[in-house]
Structure 1
Amino acid sequence: MRYTIQHPYKAYRDGRLFGPWDQGDVVDLDDADAAWIERDSPGVFAEDVDETADQQPAPSGPPIPERQGEPIVDQGDREPPAPDYEAMDYRELQALAKQRELPASGSKDDLVARLQKADKAAAADGART
């Protein structure tokens, strides 16, 4: 479904980047992702959702994954880039830790280390399956 963004938004969830989006951007999301984003940041979407989006012709050119809530995937054999936790502010790191059900206390360095450790554990779990 197509949504209009009402305020700037950017978040990571399960290794996926949503955004960065600015006010007025139009994004295509599935219902589950849209529901999660609305819970994460109430009011991020316009109240009037374009119900006719599926009937309109698709835009020309390749899709832009960041603008559609799709995972960012590098071409080739490389892994997707890890989030740049050092560039995030303390509150963003706390929110990300809470989203991933990790402790959100401690210094910025503690949060960065905790998130990086969780990323490595998740990557190791994914490699085993």
Structure 2
Amino acid sequence: MTTAVTIYHNPECGTSRNTLAMIQNTGIEPNVIEYLKNPPSRQQLIKMIADAGLSVREAIREKGTPYAELGLDNPDLTDEKLLDAMLKDPILINRPFVITPIGTRLARPSEVVLDILPETHKGAFTKEDGEKVLDAEGKRIV
């Protein structure tokens, strides 16, 4: 199935890998953008953050990044300064962002992506850590 789905992906990240696998479990082959190699433009990043209903600060990744060293925890920093830092060092962009015709989400936890995918799952899905997300009929386990 071809549907306009894009994932800003980091193959080193388990959450990102799980999200990609859940998208593929619907039969969709998404447009995969390895954002560390091909970061979004400033306009794309602003739109993704807004469309996901997040603030710029909520879209910054702290863990495993130079967040603290760069002083990005300073509450006086403007969105423009935070965006500058994210674009200069894309590891600061939280992941994975997923864009579908249904909506845009920062898929953390990865099963958040299910909210913006069509209900065409191909059976059960279990995350890398063993957590079951979909049952044999492709229905969400809550």
Q: TM-score, normalised by structure 2?
A: 0.27
* Bigger Rg, which one: 1
Higher relative contact order (CA 8 A, sep 6+): 2
Q: TM-score, normalised by structure 1?
A: 0.29
